[in-house]
């Protein structure tokens, strides 16, 4: 099967459209999270998503519909733990993460253990994405990117120097809340592509790869988009041609790019 023949299939077209949208979302948010040392928030929220997916299956509700409010609540919980206690961000993420995974395992055991549907969310399968899910991805991508553009200067200021941003009159608490909540939405969207277990890597890898060669903040954005979108398109095509899991192939493609750029940077330094 040739490259052009693969692109003729409707499910491939849906996968690539949704994948590119999710890649743009993850690259945009991931760069802010990496620079603020909150990279693992994706992993914590993914565990909350696992718990909410299990609840959705128990109540026979479409899991993404159940996952969005619960993951938003988990993101807000992380933020409040950081604000109201002396606990650092990684510890707050760990608390919410462990709660989400514990709830998921408990409900899964009650409902009779892991099944095919739950595994599809754990490991992802973008090739089975439906038209409805593509439309949801389009809507949420427009909403998130549009919101980031509106608050771009405030988000950048808060990312690089939160204290200075606060003194300058920027409502940093609102910006932090916004950033974490849109990350929660992105995690829910991305779980259908790379799966709950790998979603955090898709938020991190394209951005840390871009930072290896970027000369400034804007070029880091541009490079992360190229890396992320390329990994989605080539990951989907390679997984089909070699009969490999699509989500894992996309993440591994990202990992290979990061490794190459890291080696390049190391060689140039020496």
| Arithmetic mean of pLDDT over the chain | 82
Determine, yes or no, domain membership for 270: no
Can you tell me the distance from the alpha carbon of 210 to that of 171, in angstroms, rounded to the nearest whole number?
A: 29
Please state which of the ranges 42-51, 112-121, 137-146 shows the lowest mean pLDDT: 112-121
pLDDT: is 6 or 80 the higher one? 80
Residue scoring higher pLDDT (8 or 150): 150
The H or E element that residue 231 is part of is helix 217-242
pLDDT tens digits for 203-243?
Answer: 888 899 998 888 888 888 889 999 999 988 888 888 888 88
Given this model, what pLDDT does residue 86 score?
66
Q: Mean pLDDT over residues 38-49, rounded?
A: 80
Q: Check pLDDT > 60 for residue 116.
A: no
Q: Rounded to an integer, what distance in angstroms lies between the CA atom of residue 93 and that of residue 90? A: 5
> What confidence score (pLDDT) does residue 63 get?
78
Residues whose CB is less than 8 angstroms from the CB of residue 150 and which lie 6 or more positions away in sequence, other chains included = none
Query: Nearest 5°: phi and psi at 181?
Result: -70, -40
Task: Provide the pLDDT for residue 251.
Answer: 86
Residue-wise pLDDT for 83-113, tens only, equals 777 666 667 778 888 888 888 888 877 776 6
pLDDT tens digits, 171-191? 888 888 888 888 888 888 787
Q: How far is CA 267 from CA 256, 258, 260, 262, 270, in A?
A: 17, 14, 11, 9, 5
User: Is residue 11 domain-resident?
Assistant: yes
Does the residue 145 lie in any domain?
yes
CATH code where residue 151 lies? 1.10.3470.10
Task: Provide the token pair at 113.
Answer: 């253990």
In a domain, 182, yes or no: yes
Of 238, 128, 257, 247, nearest in space to 196 by CA: 247
Task: Specify if 269 maps to a domain.
Answer: no
| Segment of 59-63, 81-85, 86-90, 165-169 carrying the highest mean pLDDT | 165-169
Number of domains in the chain: 1
Residue 21 has pLDDT above 80, yes or no: yes
Q: Judge contact between 237 and 8, C-beta under 8 A.
A: no
Question: Mean pLDDT over residues 109-138, rounded?
Answer: 73
| Per-residue pLDDT, 256 | 92
Average pLDDT over residues 74-89: 77
Range of the domain at 132: 3-263
223-253 in b/e form (b: 16+ CB < 10 A) is bbbbbbbebbbebbbebbeeeebbbbbbbbb
């Amino acid at each position: 099967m040739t490259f052009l023949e693969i692109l003729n299939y409707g499910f491939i077209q849906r996968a690539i459209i949704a994948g590119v949208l999710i890649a743009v979302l993850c690259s945009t948010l991931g760069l802010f999270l990496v620079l603020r040392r909150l990279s693992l928030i994706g992993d914590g929220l993914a565990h909350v998503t696992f718990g909410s997916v299990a609840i959705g299956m128990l109540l026979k509700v479409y899991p993404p519909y159940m996952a969005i409010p619960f993951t938003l609540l988990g993101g807000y919980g992380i933020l409040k733990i950081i604000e109201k206690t002396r606990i650092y961000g990684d510890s707050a993420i760990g608390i919410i993460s462990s709660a989400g995974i514990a709830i998921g395992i408990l409900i899964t055991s009650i409902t009779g253990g892991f099944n095919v549907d739950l595994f599809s969310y754990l490991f992802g399968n973008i090739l089975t994405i439906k038209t409805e899910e593509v439309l949801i991805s389009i809507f949420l991508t427009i909403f998130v990117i549009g919101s980031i553009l509106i608050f771009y200067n405030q988000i950048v200021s808060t990312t690089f120097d939160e204290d200075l941003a606060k003194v300058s009159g920027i409502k940093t608490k609102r910006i932090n809340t916004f950033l974490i909540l849109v990350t929660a939405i992105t995690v829910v969207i991305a779980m259908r592509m790379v799966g709950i277990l790998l979603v955090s890597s898709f938020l991190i890898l394209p951005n840390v790869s871009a930072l290896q060669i970027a000369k400034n903040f804007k070029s880091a954005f541009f490079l992360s988009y190229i890396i992320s979108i390329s990994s989605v398109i080539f990951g989907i095509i390679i997984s089909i041609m070699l009969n490999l899991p699509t989500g894992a192939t996309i993440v591994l493609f990202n990992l290979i790019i990061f490794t190459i750029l890291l080696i390049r940077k190391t060689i140039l330094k020496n």
